[in-house]
Every structure is written in structure tokens, then in C-alpha cells.
């Protein structure tokens, strides 16, 4: 069986995003039309209606479609508004603002929230046409994510209010459209109220779609696929919901077939004939049997296509394609998790959704890029902390082989949050990657009392109703405590308190346990001396907040005890906000095993040593310590070899045996030169070295891929380093780098992983620039539509320039 590691993983991601031929124009239904392009944007004002286009002053609800003298009016002139495409997060475009308010700190010191009325409300408008020929069809607008509290209108008609910043919303536009004439969609986004205690961004930061379908149709969220596998036979059950929104009853036929990933039909259900009354609904269950299924796994994440087809006579009314991985999950309270009968220890990471330079508005490719980085470290599971993820993240996890713990935003059973939970489950339950639901996180006010228990029971009942084939956990920051939510939760989740897991398991041996948040070592990439002024912590596994633990503290326990299902470290990537243990000038966290760009810190190699079978031998720190000659330097070695011998300039400083799930240390008097190690792993010799480098001489750029699609959406990540005259990477280079571009691609963000950098993530007066931070920075490019070669040049004062080209391929 082929394993996804190293070069093969990168090639797979490249293939998934390779340019594909353009299909012939099809107008059969359903149609899913991307609606990301050609929006207009302007700030409003949360406190001053005169600066908010008369919102809250104009009487908008006296009559249907009444909207004059506001930006809601279809006749409103938005020619002076900014033109942009979504996804769009306006927070990275704003400056950092120092504030004593804890929520502003937690959100990364951006001027978003109730204290900043002038930059916390944004208006979006989109003009579009719908053909007269389509007037008999239904049209739905679908927003995948708006942060937050969105009011939405079409042609002046109010559609509704959507509170959640993480789950999407859909509205039927059919009754309000002007067929053959201009239509205007308006969205007012109000980000004055936070939802989390971390960076959340602001705006329409996920995709928008216009869905076109028949009155008789299959709602996508009403297709549920699940499978039972017994003795190399899969019984695949497809539950399909149908709706009739027409003025006449309809006689229809429904069947479902299974295809391989290339579309070849493998098996088909029986045809079901049924009648749907006006406004009628129905649910049909069909079964497909498959011999010797290719099971979805972490190493071979194979996805079939389940195609549900609705017909009236010989005419196809609707078809819904569901990418589906056949697999089994079993959880044993003594032995842990089994995927397809194979034991899997959860080696997971928690992650928020933002990335350097972009905030929360990530191109789809970035989801695959980030999951690829995590898999290379040995990570096999992802917790969506602490909210519904973007759909493209789950598609990346399905495609690349990453288990997902899918989390509800709040432990709350009100109509609002029950609706969110139901939407989350129905949206995500067909993803092979999703192995468990989480009903909430660290609800300290209620998690140990009867209120929390009753809320949990209500949520669990809904989960069992909508998805009886998975189970749920709750992320409790509690030690050996059973009262409240833990009394009823099927899987006990531990946020930290690793010291109490054994006692809890002893007292409740029938309840499986998993580490929902573990670790939380805080580190700054490339820093080795604590600096409370700049806001840096050493880049080793030595510092953790009082509530948390270091990597070795929890993993040595989890690895050795089979009843521990494993756990999710906090976090895979640094993220904006929560600048623990410091405040200003820190503007993002130190928790990641990688920084916010995805550059590894030293702790990355600890986990890679014990989470993979790769040959790992990593030395730290760097060896540029001018002025400290003769002074002792603590050298760490992370490896999964059995023995390591350390040398400085050829002189041995002794051989040591590597304790399992640990690391080795030496104290070495600094002298310039070469620090090297020789290790043996199962008889195989491994070598590694770090050298004292010269000054930075040349910039080097490396692109994550050489070709992208000219679709206006695809993206590429370019990492920049500085090398000396001998070609060695300079680990303490901090030069300012300016970027210039010739071609169709555009720059959409820059970063460097410095948690205290206040440099702009976006261009300043048309100039894109970023300082290296300990030798590295990053630039992210997005495709245009013209195709051809784009040249990117990086230049720094006193440094030899670097240039690369990216090929953009037009479809067709």
C-alpha cells in the first residue's frame, strides 16, 4: 500500500490542483455557479447611520422591497465603492491597534469589534443578470461563511439575518429576481460582536455560490451516505431527500449509482418511483452492494462517487454527486481507535483557520498546502477548533488522508445553536475524514452542572438522529471530574490535565478517552533567549502556560497507554491573536509547532521523530553565536535513532542513547565551525549538521508548485530564504525584502512568522515587502485568467536578487 510521505504527498497535491480541460458549456440542471467575482465593497459605521448609508434610520420594513435612500436600494450608485472578489477578510488590511481590552488582544490587536465602529461594518454589493430563458427554474444564493451578523437583501427585498460567523446560509431568490434585467445582491456584515477569543477576521471570507435547480429536486444536504463493511463486502446505504416546490404534483424516479474516482459506473441501486405533492417532501433509502471495496485510509484515501439521479420520464431533473470514502471506525475504551480494523493512535493538531498574509480568506489550495505540511510532520488528525470549518478543508482532508474531529461552536441547545448543530452535521456527515463530532469546548460555567448535562443530552440526541454512525466528545478542561457533561458524553475529552487521565480511566473504564487539547508548548521560531520586551520565547520544548504541558509531558503518557486514543496538540500552526505568554507588541500566538507561515519550529522535529517512520535527525540551535566563543550552548537533538554521537569541528562530545519519546541534550562550548551528529537507526547511519555561516549574500525563492490554473482562484506559496556565499541558509538574517511581479498572477499576502511583527500583510502604496524573520519570509500569489508565465523578483539591500517563474495554464 502506498504511503503519503515527502515527495509523493507534494505530487498528489499538485495533481489535485493541476489544470483541467474545460468541459463543454452545459445548461442541464443543477448548476452551481461560483459567485465570488465582481463585488463592490465599502465600510459602513456601527454607531453613525449617516456613515452607514442610513441603515437603522431608513424605515426598511414598512413595505416589501422598500429601500430608498440606502445602499440596499438597487438604484444606489456604488460606482465609487472598491471593486474586489471574495473570499475577502478586511481585517488584515487594517493596522494593529494597541488596546488594554482583553478581547482586542485575543483577536490580534486589529480594530474590529464594538470599540471600533468605523471599521467593524462592511457593505458588499453584487450586480448580476439572469436569463429570461431560466425563469422557470429556482435560484438559491449560498454563502459558505460570513463573519458575522449578516443582513442580506436581493433587489431591495429582505432575505434574512445570519448570526453565525462559521456556518453558511442559503436563501431562495426565485421570487425576487428580475429575469433579463439587472439584479442587485446586498450584504451588510456587522463584526462588532465577537464569537471567539482568537482571531476571527471580518467579511465574506468564504465562497459564494448561485445554485440553479428544478422545482423538483434533491437538496444536497439531504443526501446521507453510510456503509457497513463485512468480509470484503460493502453495503452502501444512500438516504436521499426530495422536494417539490412547484405548483403541481410530480411523478418521479430516483436511482443511485456508485462510480470509481474516474466516473466509471461500478454498481447501481434499484429505481424508486414515487409521487411528490405540491410542497411535498420525501426520503428514500437505497442500497448498493460492492465487492472488495477499496477502503479509505490515511495511507490510501480513496474516494468513490455516489451519484443520486432524479428523473421525470426520460428527463433528468437533478443529480447530486457525493465523494465518499468507504471505511469503518471502531472505538474501544481499552484499546483506542481502529480504522478499517487497524489500530490508529491519534496524532492530531488543533488549528484555527487563518494563515499569514491572508487572515481567514484562504484560497482553496492553501487548505491542501497546510494539510500537506501537517501530514509530513506525522499528523493524522485535525480538530476544527472551535467552530465549523470551511468545506474545502474537509475536502482536503478527504483527499489527502487526515481524520477530522468536527466541532460545534458552543455547548448550547437554543433554537439558534441547535440549528447550527444540525446544519453542521448534515453538511459534513458524508466526509470520510470526519470520525467524531465535538459538541463544545471548555464551557466553564456549565460543564460540571446539570444545565450543561441537559444541554449535552439534547445535542447528543440530535447527533444520533442525524448521524447514528459516529459518536461525540466534549473538550473539557477538567481533571478527574465526572459530574455534568462527562456523565453523558460518549467519549471523554481532556483539554490538558494529562496527569489525571489514568485516574479517570481507572474510575470510568468503560468510557473511551481522547486528548482534545494537549501540549501547548510556546516557542518562537529561531529564538533561543527569552525576550519579554520583543515578546519572544525560546524555540525549544521548555515553556508552557500554567494550564498546559510541554510536548514530552503528554506524549510519553499517551504513547505508552493503549486506552488513550491519542490526542490533538495545541496547535499545528501559530495563529493571530492569543499572544501567550505576552501582550503588546505580540500580535499572534506562539503555540504552533509551525509558525503562521508554516515554517517548522524545533518542536516539529520532536513530533516527526515519534509520529513517523521517517529517518529524523535534527540539531538545534543554529551555530551563529558571534561574541559567545567559549560560552556553553545547550544543544538539542531530536531523532528516532537509537544512538547519537555529537561532534564540533570533528571533536567528539560523546555518544548517547536516545530515550523513546524524548530528546537528547549536550552542553557545548561555542566555537565557530561545524556542529555535526552521527546516529544509528536499526543499523542505518544518519548524519546531520549545522554550520556557522557568513553574512547573507543572496535571496533564494522556492515555489510550492511550478504550474497553476488560470482560473482566477488557484494559488501558489513562495518561501524566501537568505543564503551566504557558500550556499548555506543564514538563520539570523532579517533583511527587508521587496517583491515585484510581471505577468498575470497577483500577490495577495506576505508574512514571515514573527509573532511581534507589525509590518503590513498587504501592499503599502502598491509596494509589496516583508522583512525576513530569522532567515525566512513568505509570499502568496493568486492566479489571474490570462495564462502564460509570471515572473516574481525578490530584492533586498546588499543582497543578490532572486527570480522565479510560475506558469499559469488556461483551461480549454
- Active site members: 442, 517
Pinpoint the alpha helices (H) of 661-723: none
Helix and strand totals (H; E) in the chain: 9, 48
Spell out the residues 6+ positions from residue 785 whose beta carbon is closer than 8 angstroms to its own: 710, 711, 712, 744, 810
In the block, cell 490554473 appears at 709
**For residues 166 and 638, what is the distance between their CA atoms, to the nearest angstrom?**
38
Q: For residue 222, how many other CB atoms are within 10 A of its CB?
A: 18
For 95, other C-beta atoms within 10 Å of its C-beta total 10
d(CA 726, CA 131): 63
Interhelix angle 6-16/364-377, nearest 10 degrees: 170
Q: How far apart, in whole angstroms, are the C-alpha atoms of residue 382 and residue 352?
A: 10
Q: Residue-wise over 260-278: b if at least 16 C-beta within 10 A, else e?
A: eeeeeeebebeebeeebee
CB 216 within 8 A of CB 171: no
Q: Reduced to 3 states, what is the DSSP secondary structure of residue 247? A: coil
Residues 6+ apart with CB under 8 A from 385: 350, 351, 352, 407, 441, 517, 570, 571
Distant-in-sequence, close-in-space partners of 451: CB < 8 Å, separation ≥ 6: none
* Local structure of residue 499 (DSSP, 8 states): G
3-state class of 518 per DSSP?
strand
Q: How many CA atoms, within 13 angstroms, populate the side-chain half-sphere of residue 572?
A: 28
Contact (CB, 8 A) for 662 and 624:
no
Question: How many angstroms separate the CA atoms of 79 and 217, rounded?
Answer: 38
Instruction: List the one residue out of 28, 29, 25, 26 whose CA is nearest residue 213.
Output: 29
Evaluate the CA torsion angle 425, 428, 432, 437 in order and state its sign: negative
From the number of C-beta atoms within 10 Å of its C-beta (0-12, 13-18, 19+), residue 43 rates as middle
Instruction: Specify burial of residue 708 (Cβ count, 10 A radius: 0-12, 13-18, 19+).
Output: buried
Q: Three-state SS across 156-216? A: CEEEEEECCCCCCEEEECHHHCCECCEEEEEEEEECCCCCCCCCCCCEECCCEEEEEECCE
Amino acid at each position: 500500500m502506498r504511503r503519503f510521505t515527502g515527495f509523493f504527498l507534494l505530487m498528489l497535491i499538485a495533481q489535485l490542483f493541476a489544470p483541467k480541460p474545460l468541459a463543454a458549456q452545459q445548461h442541464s440542471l443543477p448548476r452551481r455557479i461560483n459567485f465570488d467575482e465582481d463585488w463592490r465593497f465599502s465600510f459602513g459605521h456601527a454607531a453613525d447611520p449617516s456613515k452607514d448609508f442610513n441603515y437603522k434610520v431608513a424605515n426598511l420594513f414598512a413595505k416589501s422591497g422598500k429601500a430608498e435612500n440606502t445602499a440596499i436600494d438597487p438604484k444606489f450608485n456604488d460606482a465609487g465603492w472598491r471593486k474586489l472578489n471574495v473570499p475577502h477578510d478586511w481585517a488584515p488590511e487594517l493596522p494593529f491597534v494597541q488596546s488594554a481590552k482583553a478581547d482586542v488582544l485575543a483577536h490580534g490587536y486589529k480594530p474590529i469589534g464594538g470599540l471600533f465602529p468605523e471599521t467593524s461594518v462592511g457593505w458588499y454589493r453584487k450586480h448580476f443578470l439572469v436569463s429570461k430563458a431560466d425563469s422557470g427554474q429556482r435560484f438559491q444564493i449560498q454563502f459558505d461563511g460570513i463573519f458575522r451578523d449578516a443582513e442580506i437583501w436581493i433587489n431591495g427585498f429582505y432575505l434574512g439575518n445570519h448570526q453565525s460567523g462559521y456556518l453558511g446560509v442559503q436563501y431562495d431568490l426565485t421570487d425576487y429576481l428580475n429575469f433579463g434585467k439587472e439584479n442587485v445582491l446586498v450584504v451588510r456584515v456587522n463584526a462588532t460582536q465577537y464569537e471567539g477569543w482568537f482571531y476571527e477576521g471580518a467579511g465574506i471570507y468564504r465562497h459564494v455560490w448561485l445554485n440553479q435547480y428544478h422545482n423538483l429536486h434533491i437538496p444536497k444536504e439531504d443526501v446521507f451516505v453510510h456503509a457497513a463493511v463485512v468480509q470484503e463486502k460493502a453495503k452502501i446505504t444512500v438516504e436521499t431527500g426530495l422536494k417539490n416546490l412547484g405548483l403541481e404534483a410530480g411523478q418521479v424516479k430516483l436511482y443511485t449509482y456508485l462510480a470509481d474516482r474516474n466516473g466509471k459506473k461500478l454498481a447501481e441501486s434499484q429505481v424508486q418511483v414515487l409521487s411528490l405533492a405540491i410542497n411535498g417532501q420525501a426520503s428514500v433509502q437505497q442500497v448498493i452492494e460492492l465487492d472488495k471495496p477499496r477502503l479509505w485510509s490515511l495511507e490510501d484515501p480513496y474516494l468513490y462517487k455516489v451519484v443520486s439521479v432524479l428523473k421525470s420520464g426520460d428527463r433528468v431533473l437533478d443529480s447530486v454527486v457525493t465523494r465518499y470514502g468507504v471505511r469503518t471506525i471502531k472505538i474501544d475504551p481499552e484499546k483506542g481507535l481502529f480504522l478499517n480494523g487497524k489500530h490508529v493512535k491519534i496524532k492530531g493538531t488543533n488549528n484555527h483557520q487563518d494563515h499569514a498574509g491572508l487572515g481567514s480568506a484562504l484560497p482553496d489550495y492553501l487548505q491542501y498546502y497546510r494539510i500537506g505540511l501537517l501530514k509530513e510532520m506525522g499528523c493524522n488528525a485535525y480538530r476544527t477548533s472551535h467552530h465549523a470549518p470551511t468545506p474545502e478543508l474537509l475536502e482536503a482532508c478527504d483527499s489527502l488522508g487526515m481524520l477530522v474531529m468536527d466541532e460545534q461552536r458552543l455547548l448550547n441547545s437554543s433554537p439558534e445553536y441547535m440549528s447550527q448543530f444540525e446544519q453542521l452535521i448534515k453538511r459534513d456527515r458524508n466526509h470520510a475524514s470526519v470520525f467524531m463530532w465535538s459538541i463544545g469546548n471548555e464551557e466553564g460555567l456549565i460543564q460540571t452542572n446539570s444545565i450543561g448535562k441537559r444541554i449535552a443530552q439534547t445535542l447528543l440526541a440530535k447527533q444520533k438522529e442525524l448521524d447514528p454512525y459516529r459518536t461525540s466528545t466534549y473538550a473539557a478542561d477538567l481533571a478527574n471530574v465526572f459530574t455534568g457533561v462527562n456523565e453523558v458524553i460518549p467519549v471523554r475529552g481532556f483539554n490538558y490535565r494529562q496527569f489525571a487521565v489514568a485516574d479517570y480511566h481507572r474510575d470510568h473504564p468503560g468510557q473511551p478517552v481522547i486528548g482534545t487539547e494537549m501540549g501547548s508548548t510556546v516557542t518562537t521560531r529561531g529564538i533561543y533567549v527569552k525576550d519579554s520586551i520583543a515578546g519572544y520565547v525560546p524555540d525549544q520544548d521548555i515553556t508552557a502556560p500554567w494550564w498546559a504541558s510541554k510536548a514530552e509531558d503528554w506524549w510519553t503518557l499517551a504513547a505508552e497507554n493503549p486506552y488513550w486514543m491519542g490526542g490533538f496538540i495545541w496547535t499545528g500552526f501559530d495563529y493571530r491573536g492569543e499572544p501567550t505568554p505576552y501582550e503588546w507588541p505580540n500580535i499572534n500566538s506562539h503555540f504552533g509547532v509551525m509558525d503562521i507561515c508554516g515554517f517548522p519550529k524545533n518542536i516539529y522535529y520532536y513530533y516527526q521523530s515519534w509520529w513517523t517512520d521517517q529517518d529524523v535527525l535534527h540539531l538545534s540551535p543554529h551555530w551563529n553565536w558571534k561574541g559567545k566563543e567559549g560560552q556553553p550552548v545547550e544543544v538539542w537533538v531530536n531523532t528516532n535513532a537509537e544512538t547519537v554521537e555529537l561532534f564540533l569541528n570533528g571533536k567528539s562530545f560523546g555518544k548517547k542513547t536516545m530515550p523513546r519519546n524524548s530528546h537528547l541534550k549536550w552542553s557545548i562550548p561555542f566555537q565557530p565551525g561545524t556542529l555535526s551528529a552521527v546516529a544509528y537507526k536499526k543499523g542505518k547511519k544518519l548524519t546531520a549538521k549545522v554550520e556557522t555561516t557568513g553574512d547573507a549574500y543572496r535571496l533564494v525563492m522556492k515555489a510550492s508548485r511550478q504550474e497553476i490554473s488560470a482560473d482566477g482562484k488557484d494559488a501558489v506559496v513562495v518561501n524566501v530564504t537568505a543564503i551566504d556565499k557558500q550556499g548555506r541558509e543564514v538563520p539570523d538574517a532579517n533583511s527587508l525584502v521587496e517583491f515585484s511581479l510581471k505577468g498575470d498572477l497577483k500577490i495577495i499576502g506576505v508574512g514571515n512568522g514573527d509573532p511581534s511583527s507589525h509590518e503590513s500583510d498587504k501592499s503599502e502604496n502598491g509596494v509589496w515587502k516583508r522583512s525576513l524573520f530569522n532567515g525566512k519570509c513568505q509570499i502568496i500569489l493568486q492566479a489571474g485568467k490570462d495564462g502564460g508565465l509570471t515572473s516574481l523578483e525578490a530584492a533586498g539591500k546588499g543582497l543578490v536578487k532572486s527570480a522565479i517563474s510560475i506558469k499559469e495554464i488556461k483551461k480549454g
